[in-house]
C-alpha cells in the first residue's frame, strides 16, 4: 500500500523548529533531499502507542520517515525511537541468510540453505517428540509482532507441533495487567481511549514513566493540565512526567498497594465515595471497605516512605474530581504482587464511580508495540484466540470447529514462559522455537536463563538481528522487520491498526509467517496452514474471535484504513467499534465489576544489613525493551550507549562515590559494574539501572526471579542490593568515554520543565 506523493508537500509541514539548547530556530526536522517514490502509511514498530507514520521509499529502499498528521493519536509527532525506526530496515547487521551449527553446540554458526535448516528442524523436532513426547517442544513467542503472526504461533504450537507449551514475552510485561483487568473488570483492555485524558479533572499515574516509555502520551497529559486537570504521579524516581506533576509521591518500590489502600481509606473517611455506582454496578464492596480501615495515612506513610499529608492530598485530589483516570505500567506491575497492585488501583476507581464516562477510567500502558493484541490472540499458555480459555469446553469446541481438528487433539494449558526455564533445566522441555523475543536480556537471573537455553537439544531462533539470544541458537532463521510485511496490531487503547508493506526483506530473509507455514507443511500439517497472505490469517483470526471477549469479527483491513483503526469489541461489519468500555456493563455475566480486598504484602526481598538498598530497573527514552534494535540505531546508541547506576547524591556521598566513577551493584543473583549517575531525582534508598543491555551489561543479572503466584511475572522492579565503589572498571569499559556517557545523561535530565510547575527534588 502506498499513497499519492502529491498529497505531501515535502518540507512544508514545519519549516523551522525551535532548538532548546541554542535558543534558535533550526531547519525543519523532516526535510529531505531524497526523491521519494512512495509514502507508505503505517505505524511505528515500537511502543504500544503505535504512532502513525509514513515510510519514505526511494529506489526500492526505505530511506526515511514522516509522522502522520492524520492519525488521531500522535497528530504529527514522533519520539526519537519512532523518528529513527526506519534505520533498522537497511541496517548492515540484518540477518540475510539462515545460520546453523553443523558440529554441535561448540561449533560456529555457519551459512546454510533454507532447505537444509528447515529439513533439519523438522527432522530433529520429530525425533525429540518421538522420544520424549509432544510436550518436550516449546514455542517462546513475542508481542512486538502483528496479530496475524502472534495468532499463527499459538496455532502452530497446538496444531502443527501438538504441544501444550506455548507462551510469549508479554508474560514478562503485561501479565499483571491482564490478571487485574480480568479479576476486577472482566475484560482485559484499557477502559478508555487516550483522548479521554482531555476530559479528566484528575489523572493519577502510578508506576509509569510516561515521558520516556510512551513519550507521545505526554502531550495529552500536558494538554489535560492546560485545561485544569490535576496530575498526581507516584514513582520512586522523579521521572520527567513527575517533574510536571501537581503532586509527586516518591513512594518506596513495592509499596503501591499500601498507598492505594491508604488513599481509599481517606476517600471513605472524607465521604468522597460514589455510593450509587458502588451499589448498582459492583459487588464485593463491604469486604474491601473493611480491609482499608486498617490503612490510615500515618501507617501507610511509614510503609511507603511518604508524608501522611501527601497521601491525604492525593486522595482528595483524586476523590473530588468529577472525572478521574488512573494509569499504571510496569512499575506497579513488575512485582510479585503485580496483579494485586492492579486490583487495588481498580478498587480506587470503582469506589469513586470512575468508569464508563469521558475522562473516567483506568488503563495499563502497554510497553510492547502489540502488547495488547499479543495477549488476546491465542499464543499464551492458557489461552485460545479472542481471550478464550483453553480449559473452557465451549471455547475449545468452537476453536476446534474453526481449525477443523478434533477436540481431543487440542492440547491443554502449558507452562508460562517463566516456568519454561526450569522445565528446560529439568530436561522436560528439550527443544524450543523462539520468535522475536530476546530473553537473554529480558529474563531475570540471566545466568540461570542462559544455562537453560544452552541445555536444549535443539534451539531455533527466528529474528532479523543476531540478538544475545540468537547467539545461543543451534539454528537462526532470518525473518522480516515490520516495514517488510503487512498485518494488524492493537494499540494500548485497544485500537486495531494496520502496518503496510513498504519493501521486501533483504537477501534470503523471508517473511516470518511464510517460514512458519513452510515448517508446518514440512511437519505434515500444511492443510491447516494454507495461508497465502496476512489478510487470510487475519480473516481466520476474526472468525476465531467471533462472539468472544476481544471480538474482532467486524474489523476488516478496509475498515481499519477507513476509520484509522477500529476499537474492539467490534461484533459486526456495520459496528463502529468500542472506544470506551464499561459505559453500561462490566465484562462479567451479571454486568457488575468486582471489588477485591487486597492486604499489602511486602516485596519478596527487603533491604537488610548485607543488601541495604533497593534496586529497581526500567527504560530510557532512547531504547526499546531489550535494545536489540535501538542499540544498533546510531543516534539512539549515541544518546544512551551503556547502562549506568543511578543513585541519590546522599547515597553516593555515603558510599564515597562521585559522578562517573565505577560502581559495583550486588544482589543475591550476581553483580555488575557500571558508571554512577549521581542525581537528586531518585529516593536515597533506591538504585536504578536501565535494562536495555546484554551480556555483562544486563541489569537482569541482578533481578529477582520470584514470580507473581497467579500470572508468573517476575519481580523486576524491586530487590535488595548493595553498592560499592568498583575495584576496577569492567572489561567493556575500555571501549567507552565515561565522561561523555555521564554528560549525556545529565543533559537529558536537565531539559527545561515545559508547561509545568517545578516539584521539589528528593533530599
| 231 vs 241: CA distance, rounded Å | 9
Minimum distance from residue 86 beta carbon to ligand SF4 (Å): 11
Candidate list 30, 39, 40, 46; residue touching ligand SF4; CB under 6 A: 46
Minimum distance from residue 215 beta carbon to ligand SF4 (Å): 5
Q: Contact between 216 and ligand SF4 (CB under 6 A)?
A: yes
**Peptide linkage before 569 cis (omega within 30 of 0):** yes
Minimum distance from residue 11 beta carbon to ligand SF4 (Å): 21
Question: What's the N-to-C CA distance of the chain in angstroms?
Answer: 54
Nearer to ligand SF4, 438 or 446 (CB): 438
Q: Contact between 300 and ligand SF4 (CB under 6 A)?
A: no
| 388 vs 444: CA distance, rounded Å | 29
Binding residues among 325-354 for ligand SF4 as defined by CB under 6 A: none
**Near ligand SF4 by CB under 6 A, which window of 78-86, 186-194, 493-501, 722-730?**
78-86
Nearer to ligand SF4, 84 or 176 (CB): 84
Nearer to ligand SF4, 46 or 151 (CB): 46
What cell was used for 291? 480491609
Candidate list 30, 38, 41, 51; residue touching ligand SF4; CB under 6 A: 51
Minimum distance from residue 43 beta carbon to ligand SF4 (Å): 7
With cell 512485582, the residue in question is 335
Candidate list 82, 250, 359, 374; residue touching ligand SF4; CB under 6 A: 82
What cell was used for 324? 478521574
Nearer to ligand SF4, 51 or 343 (CB): 51
Q: Contact between 44 and ligand SF4 (CB under 6 A)?
A: yes
Nearer to ligand SF4, 47 or 185 (CB): 47
Minimum distance from residue 171 beta carbon to ligand SF4 (Å): 21
Q: Contact between 47 and ligand SF4 (CB under 6 A)?
A: yes
Contacts of 314-317 spanning 24+ positions with Cβ under 8 A: 314/204, 314/232, 314/234, 314/247, 314/249, 314/259, 314/263, 315/262, 315/263, 315/264, 315/265, 315/266, 315/267, 315/270, 315/272, 316/266, 316/270, 316/272, 317/202, 317/230, 317/232, 317/246, 317/247
Minimum distance from residue 74 beta carbon to ligand SF4 (Å): 6
Give the count of alpha carbons within 13 A of 383, CB side only.
29
What cell was used for 45? 514498530
Q: Contact between 215 and ligand SF4 (CB under 6 A)?
A: yes
Residue 388 pairs with which residues in a beta bridge? 384
Candidate list 40, 65, 78, 185; residue touching ligand SF4; CB under 6 A: 78
Nearer to ligand SF4, 446 or 630 (CB): 630
In 342-494, which ranges are E strands?
Answer: 361-364, 383-384, 388-389, 431-435, 458-463, 475-478, 487-490
Give the count of alpha carbons within 13 A of 630, CB side only.
26
| 543 vs 551: CA distance, rounded Å | 9
Binding mask 185-214 for ligand SF4 (x = CB under 6 A): -----------------------------x
**Near ligand SF4 by CB under 6 A, which window of 73-81, 241-249, 424-432, 688-696?**
73-81
Q: Contact between 81 and ligand SF4 (CB under 6 A)?
A: yes
With CB under 6 A, what is the number of residues at the site for ligand SF4?
A: 14
Strands 719-725, 613-618: pairing kind: antiparallel
Distances (CA, A) of 596 to 184, 304, 471, 589, 754: 7, 21, 45, 17, 39
Minimum distance from residue 51 beta carbon to ligand SF4 (Å): 3
Nearer to ligand SF4, 476 or 636 (CB): 636
Q: Are 739 and 8 in contact (CB under 8 A)?
A: no
**Near ligand SF4 by CB under 6 A, which window of 43-51, 173-181, 318-326, 341-349?**
43-51
In 227-355, which ranges are E strands?
Answer: 230-234, 247-249, 282-283, 324-328
Residues lying near ligand SF4 in the complex (CB under 6 A) are found at 44, 46-47, 49-51, 74, 78-79, 81-82, 214-216
Amino acid at each position: 500500500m502506498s499513497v499519492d506523493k502529491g498529497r505531501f508537500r515535502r518540507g512544508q509541514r514545519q519549516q523551522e523548529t525551535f532548538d532548546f539548547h541554542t535558543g534558535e530556530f533550526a531547519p525543519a526536522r523532516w526535510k529531505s533531499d531524497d526523491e521519494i517514490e512512495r509514502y507508505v502509511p503505517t505505524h511505528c514498530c515500537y511502543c504500544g502507542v503505535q504512532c502513525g507514520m509514513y515510510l519514505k521509499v526511494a529506489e526500492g529502499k526505505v530511506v526515511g520517515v514522516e509522522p502522520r498528521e492524520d492519525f488521531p493519536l500522535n497528530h504529527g509527532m514522533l519520539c526519537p525511537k519512532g523518528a529513527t525506526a526506519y534505520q533498522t530496515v537497511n541496517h548492515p547487521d540484518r540477518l540475510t541468510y539462515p545460520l546453523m551449527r553443523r558440529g554441535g553446540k561448540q561449533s560456529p554458526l555457519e551459512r546454510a540453505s533454507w532447505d537444509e535448516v528447515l529439513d533439519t528442524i523438522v527432522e530433529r523436532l520429530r525425533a525429540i517428540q518421538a522420544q520424549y513426547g509432544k510436550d518436550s517442544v516449546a514455542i517462546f513467542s513475542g508481542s512486538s509482532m502483528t496479530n496475524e503472526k502472534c495468532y499463527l504461533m499459538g496455532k502452530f504450537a497446538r496444531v502443527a507441533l501438538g504441544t501444550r507449551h506455548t507462551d510469549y514475552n508479554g508474560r514478562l510485561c503485561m501479565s499483571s495487567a491482564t490478571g487485574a483487568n480480568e479479576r476486577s473488570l472482566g475484560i482485559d483492555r484499557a477502559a478508555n481511549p487516550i483522548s479521554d485524558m482531555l476530559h479528566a479533572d484528575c489523572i493519577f499515574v502510578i508506576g509509569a514513566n510516561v515521558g520516556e516509555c510512551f513519550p507521545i502520551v505526554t502531550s495529552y497529559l500536558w494538554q489535560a493540565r492546560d485545561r485544569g486537570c490535576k496530575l498526581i504521579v507516584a514513582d520512586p524516581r522523579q521521572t520527567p512526567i513527575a517533574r510536571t506533576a501537581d503532586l509527586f509521591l516518591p513512594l518506596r518500590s513495592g509499596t503501591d498497594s499500601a498507598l492505594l489502600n491508604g488513599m481509599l481509606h481517606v476517600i471513605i473517611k472524607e465521604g468522597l465515595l460514589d455510593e450509587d455506582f458502588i451499589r448498582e454496578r459492583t459487588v464485593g464492596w463491604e469486604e474491601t471497605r473493611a480491609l482499608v480501615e486498617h490503612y490510615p495515612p500515618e501507617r501507610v506513610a511509614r510503609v511507603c516512605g511518604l508524608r501522611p499529608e501527601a497521601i491525604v492530598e492525593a486522595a482528595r485530589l483524586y476523590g473530588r474530581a468529577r472525572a478521574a483516570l488512573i494509569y499504571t505500567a510496569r512499575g506497579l506491575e513488575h512485582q510479585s504482587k503485580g496483579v494485586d497492585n492492579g486490583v487495588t488501583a481498580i478498587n480506587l476507581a470503582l469506589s469513586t464511580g470512575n468508569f464508563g464516562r469521558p475522562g473516567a477510567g483506568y488503563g495499563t500502558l502497554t510497553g510492547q508495540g502489540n502488547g495488547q493484541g499479543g495477549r488476546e490472540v491465542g499464543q499464551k499458555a492458557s489461552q485460545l484466540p479472542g481471550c478464550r480459555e483453553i480449559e473452557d469446553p465451549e471455547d475449545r469446541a468452537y476453536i476446534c470447529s474453526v481449525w477443523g481438528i478434533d477436540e481431543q487433539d487440542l492440547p491443554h494449558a502449558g507452562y508460562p514462559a517463566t516456568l519454561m526455564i526450569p522445565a528446560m533445566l529439568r530436561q522436560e522441555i528439550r527443544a524450543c522455537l523462539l520468535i522475536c523475543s530476546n530473553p537473554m536480556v529480558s529474563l531475570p537471573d540471566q545466568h540461570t536463563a542462559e544455562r537453560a537455553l544452552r541445555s536444549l537439544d535443539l534451539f531455533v531462533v527466528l529474528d532479523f538481528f543476531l540478538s544475545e539470544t540468537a547467539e545461543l541458537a543451534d539454528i537462526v532463521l532470518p525473518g522480516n522487520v515490520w516495514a517488510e510485511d503487512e498485518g494488524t496490531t492493537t494499540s494500548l487503547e485497544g485500537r486495531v491498526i494496520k502496518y503496510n508493506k513498504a519493501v521486501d526483506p533483504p537477501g534470503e530473509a523471508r517473511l516470518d509467517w511464510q517460514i512458519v507455514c513452510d515448517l508446518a507443511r514440512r511437519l505434515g500439517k500444511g492443510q491447516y496452514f494454507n495461508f497465502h497472505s496476512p489478510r487470510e490469517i487475519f480473516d481466520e483470526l476474526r472468525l476465531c474471535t467471533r462472539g468472544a471477549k476481544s471480538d474482532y469479527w467486524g474489523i476488516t483491513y478496509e475498515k481499519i484504513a477507513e476509520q484509522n483503526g477500529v476499537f474492539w469489541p467490534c461484533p459486526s461489519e456495520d459496528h463502529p467499534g468500542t472506544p470506551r468500555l464499561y459505559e453500561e456493563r462490566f465484562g462479567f455475566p451479571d454486568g457488575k465489576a468486582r471489588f477485591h480486598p487486597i492486604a499489602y504484602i511486602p516485596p519478596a526481598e527487603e533491604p537488610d544489613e548485607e543488601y541495604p538498598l533497593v534496586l529497581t530497573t526500567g527504560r530510557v527514552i532512547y531504547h526499546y525493551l531489550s535494545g536489540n534494535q535501538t542499540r544498533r540505531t546510531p543516534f539512539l546508541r549515541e544518546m544512551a550507549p551503556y547502562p549506568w547506576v543511578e543513585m541519590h547524591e546522599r547515597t553516593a556521598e555515603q558510599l564515597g562515590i562521585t559522578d562517573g566513577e565505577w560502581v559495583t551493584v550486588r544482589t543475591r543473583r550476581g553483580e555488575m559494574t557500571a558508571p554512577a549517575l549521581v542525581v537528586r531525582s531518585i529516593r536515597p534508598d533506591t538504585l536504578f539501572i536501565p535494562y536495555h543491555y546484554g551480556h555483562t551489561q544486563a541489569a537482569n543479572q541482578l533481578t529477582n526471579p520470584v514470580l507473581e503466584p497467579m500470572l508468573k511475572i517476575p519481580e523486576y522492579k524491586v530487590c535488595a542490593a548493595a553498592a560499592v565503589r568498583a575495584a576496577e572498571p569492567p572489561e567493556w569499559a575500555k571501549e567507552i568515554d565515561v565522561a561523555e556517557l555521564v554528560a549525556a545523561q545529565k543533559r537529558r535530565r536537565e531539559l527545561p520543565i515545559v508547561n509545568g510547575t517545578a516539584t521539589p527534588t528528593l533530599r
